[in-house]
Amino acid sequence: MDKLIELEKRLRISLPLIYKRFFLECEKAIPKNLIGTDLYNQRSDLKEWALELLEEDNAENFLTEKDFVFMMHQGYMFWYFRANGTENPNVFYYREMSLEPDKLTDLKTFLTEYPKI
């Protein structure tokens, strides 16, 4: 948990408890269906990669300082949420060449269902 507290201070964000639990579980073992997907646990530069993808796509940068990119797959799609203290924020998804993100669902539903797909 210290790692997450330090992260919140450094980035000046507030991560939801449900994400913190997911993060800690992924520290033990990555869910089978997420193998091959980069998680923030292993790659703290996901937001930089997301910004590079947006630039390559000539897409407008819609990510704010509070947006937390927590997953990226193969460098062409990423998932993020706004880490502003909301306990169950919406999850957004961006895929290469789409130019803008899609709103998927709330974080609790996403973390409950997505890793099991």
pLDDT, one tens digit per residue, over 11-68 is: 999 999 999 999 999 988 888 888 889 999 888 899 999 999 999 999 999 999 999 9
Q: Which of 38, 78, 74, 37 has its CA nearest to residue 54?
A: 78
pLDDT value for 23 = 94
The mean pLDDT value for 73-97 works out to 96
Give the residue ranges of DSSP H helices in the chain: 2-11, 17-28, 46-56, 107-113
Query: Bigger pLDDT: 63 or 114?
Result: 63
pTM to 2 decimal places = 0.92
Residue with tokens 């899609």: 102
* Largest Cα span, the chain: 37
Mean pLDDT of the chain: 92
Residue 93 pLDDT exceeds 60: yes
Bridging pattern class, strands 102-106 and 90-95: antiparallel
Q: Which of 4, 7, 32, 2 has its CA nearest to residue 20?
A: 4
CB 72 within 8 A of CB 95: no
Residue 117 pLDDT exceeds 80: no
CA 117 – CA 107 distance, rounded (Å): 15
Residue percentage of the chain with pLDDT more than 90: 78
pLDDT value for 43 = 87
pLDDT value for 115 = 66
